[in-house]
């Protein structure tokens, strides 16, 4: 059980490190941000590490949902200013940074993460069920 929880926490840590520490170092999002690229990066990294965590550690959704507080704690400690549009208000050239609404961007990011956890979990369960049924025949 301890290994499973640590594996899930490690997956959240890797998601955080890639999205908020490593990618901003190598890819400047603030210069002419392409929303499709940014969305792809966020979703791809999130899905990749959730999938790896569920395959290598545990696919117990209760453990994943309970460990999300570690991810929230990391987000509360440090988020680069205006990254992925978190904390920005307005559209295109009329947008500005509003620290009061950073929590809204964090909430959306958490909901997206929970959504992908549920989708990956369902895919893994369906594949396991299909494999199990194929072995019965």
Find all residues with CB under 8 Å of 30, minimum gap 6, and list them.
82
Domain range for 73 is 2-136
pLDDT in tens, 62-118: 999 999 999 999 998 988 776 777 777 766 666 777 778 888 888 989 999 999 999
Query: What's the predicted TM-score (pTM) here?
Result: 0.84
- Spell 47-61 as b/e; 16+ CB within 10 A means b: bbbbbebbeebbbeb
- Start-to-end C-alpha separation, the chain: 33
Number of domains in the chain: 1
């Amino acid at each position: 059980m301890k290994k499973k929880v640590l594996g899930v926490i490690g997956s959240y840590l890797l998601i955080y490190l890639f999205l908020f520490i490593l990618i901003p170092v190598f890819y400047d999002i603030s210069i002419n941000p392409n929303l499709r690229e940014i969305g792809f990066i966020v979703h791809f990294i999130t899905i990749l590490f959730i999938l790896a965590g569920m395959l290598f550690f545990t696919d117990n959704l209760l453990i994943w949902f309970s460990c999300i507080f570690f991810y929230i704690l990391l987000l509360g400690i440090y988020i680069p200013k205006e990254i992925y549009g978190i904390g920005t208000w307005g559209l295109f050239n009329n947008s500005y940074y509003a620290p009061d609404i950073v929590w809204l961007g964090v909430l959306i990011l958490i909901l997206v993460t929970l959504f992908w956890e549920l989708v990956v979990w369902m895919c893994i369960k369906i594949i396991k069920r299909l494999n199990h049924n194929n072995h019965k025949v």
